[in-house]
């Protein structure tokens, strides 16, 4: 049963503070609006809450353009990654990290469709008072679905990157840390998904509260959003620290170390976006104008997911560029090979240098072929001289 909307007393009480009497002036006075809003929320159903006749605002087009453009770029990079690894890498097979990325894309594509046919279609980027309660309820339903899919995508992207790290870092301690991180990320993702699904009791109360008076309650959704976002940022920082801690141990020239560090530091883009998204959670669920205020949350979430997928593809993109333009993007391995052939007398020394220089590059490509372990490095340093495999060294 609907409550009696005591609109007149609310407005009358607020107007006593007004310094003007015309409609335009009253509607522009934020003090009056804030004073009336609390009273109206107390005595009126959502559908009965009125607002001044303000000029409509609409930024749904900006969100659609961002979502579609980023999805297109991400899709092309993921496709290039999969085609290269399946048909042009040396082992020509897909690894665990590739299959996780495939699952992410298969979930991410419907998300993009839901962004345009669901969120923006039902009011994202518009003021709530320009829509009917039933439309707002549909918006809330789609936003609820996207919350769950967001958690799944962020978790799967992290697991894909961790699986990639497992293929290139052979150290026992490092691999143990990586496996622990995989387990923690997966467990946290599952728990967050379950909590997100059952954040309101009954579940339908999440969106039906905008349509009719209904008994139900929700957890502190703002707090849940902040916990999820903060833990996600913490995992991102940890995942950046693991590969950086290994680079300093490699016997590479400092320029090569810097290049490798820059590649792994591209993951900081995701961390920065995650932090920016945290700021948008200030209005998460508690907003009086959800379709307008939650635009920032949806926008940053879309950017975060796509940037994460793009960063996961960058190592393979680099390999593609090396194959296409080896003189521009390649390493020093070709010139090292030339010096090796010209100086047979110092073959053992040159061979040692070759392994050190190429170690990181070969490991990156061997994420789609075979992992070089520490024992293999030592064996290569002490093995009898033999004609090197041309394909092995020409990978870069």
Any idea what DSSP says for residue 149? H
- Kind plus residue range of the DSSP H or E element containing 316: helix 290-324
Q: What is the pLDDT of residue 47?
A: 54
The rounded distance, in Å, linking the Cα atoms of 288 and 292 is 9
Residue 387, SS3 per DSSP: coil
Residue 127 backbone dihedrals phi, psi, to 5 degrees? -75, 140
pLDDT digits (tens, 9 = 90+) for 92-130: 889 999 999 999 999 999 999 999 999 999 999 998 888
Any idea what DSSP says for residue 317? H
Q: Which residues pair with 58 in a beta bridge?
A: 126
C-alpha closest to that of 174 among 373, 390, 394: 373
Rg for the chain, CA atoms, rounded: 28
Below-70 pLDDT ranges, the chain: 1-19, 21-24, 26-54, 251-252, 283-285, 328-396
Q: How many residues does the chain have?
A: 396
Q: What is the pLDDT of residue 281?
A: 80
Domain boundaries 60-326, CATH class: mainly alpha
Q: What is the pLDDT of residue 101?
A: 96
Q: pTM to 2 decimals?
A: 0.75
The rounded distance, in Å, linking the Cα atoms of 52 and 33 is 9
What is the chain's percent helix, strand, coil content, to nearest 5? 75, 0, 25
- Kind plus residue range of the DSSP H or E element containing 33: helix 30-43
Residue pair 172/374 in contact by the 8 Å Cβ criterion: no
Q: How many C-beta atoms surround the C-beta of residue 115 within 10 A?
A: 25
Tokens of 24: 């335009």
The rounded distance, in Å, linking the Cα atoms of 126 and 4 is 28
Q: Which residues of 132-148 are buried (b: 16+ CB within 10 A; e: fewer)?
A: ebebbbbbbbbbbbbbe
Q: What is the pLDDT of residue 141?
A: 95
Q: Which residues of the chain form CATH 1.20.1070?
A: 60-326
Q: What is the pLDDT of residue 82?
A: 95
The rounded distance, in Å, linking the Cα atoms of 75 and 206 is 32
The rounded distance, in Å, linking the Cα atoms of 173 and 87 is 33
pLDDT digits (tens, 9 = 90+) for 275-286: 888 887 876 667
């Amino acid at each position: 049963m609907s409550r009696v909307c005591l609109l007149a007393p609310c407005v009358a009480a607020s107007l006593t503070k007004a310094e003007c009497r015309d409609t335009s002036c009253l509607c522009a006075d934020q003090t009056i609006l804030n004073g009336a809003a609390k009273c109206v929320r107390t005595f009126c159903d959502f559908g009965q809450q009125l607002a001044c006749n303000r000029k409509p605002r609409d930024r749904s087009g900006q969100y659609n353009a961002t979502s579609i453009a980023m999805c297109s770029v991400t899709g092309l990079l993921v496709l290039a990654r999969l085609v290269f690894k399946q048909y042009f890498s040396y082992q020509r097979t897909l690894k665990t990290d590739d299959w996780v990325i495939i699952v992410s894309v298969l979930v991410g594509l419907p998300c993009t469709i839901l962004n345009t046919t669901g969120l923006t279609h039902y009011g994202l980027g518009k003021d709530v008072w320009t829509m009917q309660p039933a439309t707002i309820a549909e918006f809330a339903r789609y936003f609820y679905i996207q919350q769950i899919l967001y958690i799944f995508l962020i978790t799967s992207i992290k697991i894909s990157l961790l699986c990639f790290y497992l293929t290139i870092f052979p150290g026992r301690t490092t691999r143990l840390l990586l496996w622990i991180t995989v387990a923690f990320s997966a467990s946290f993702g599952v728990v967050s998904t379950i909590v997100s699904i059952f954040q309101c009791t009954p579940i339908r109360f999440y969106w039906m509260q905008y349509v009719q008076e209904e008994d139900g309650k929700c957890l502190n959704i703002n707090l849940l959003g902040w916990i999820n976002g903060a833990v996600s940022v913490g995992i991102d920082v940890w995942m950046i620290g693991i590969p950086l801690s290994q680079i300093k141990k490699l016997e590479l020239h400092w320029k090569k170390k810097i290049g490798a560090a820059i590649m792994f530091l591209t993951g900081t883009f995701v961390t920065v976006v995650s932090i920016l998204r945290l700021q948008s959670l200030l209005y998460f669920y508690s907003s009086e104008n959800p379709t307008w205020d939650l635009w920032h949350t949806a926008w940053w979430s879309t950017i975060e997911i796509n940037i994460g997928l793009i960063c996961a593809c960058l190592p393979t993109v680099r390999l593609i560029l090396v194959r296409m333009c080896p003189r521009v993007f390649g390493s020093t391995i070709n010139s090292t090979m030339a010096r090796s052939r010209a100086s047979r007398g110092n073959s053992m020394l040159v061979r040692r240098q070759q392994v050190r220089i190429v170690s990181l590059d070969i490991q990156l490509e061997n994420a789609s072929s075979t992992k070089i372990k520490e024992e293999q490095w030592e064996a290569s340093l002490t093995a009898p001289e033999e004609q090197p495999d041309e394909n092995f060294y020409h990978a870069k």
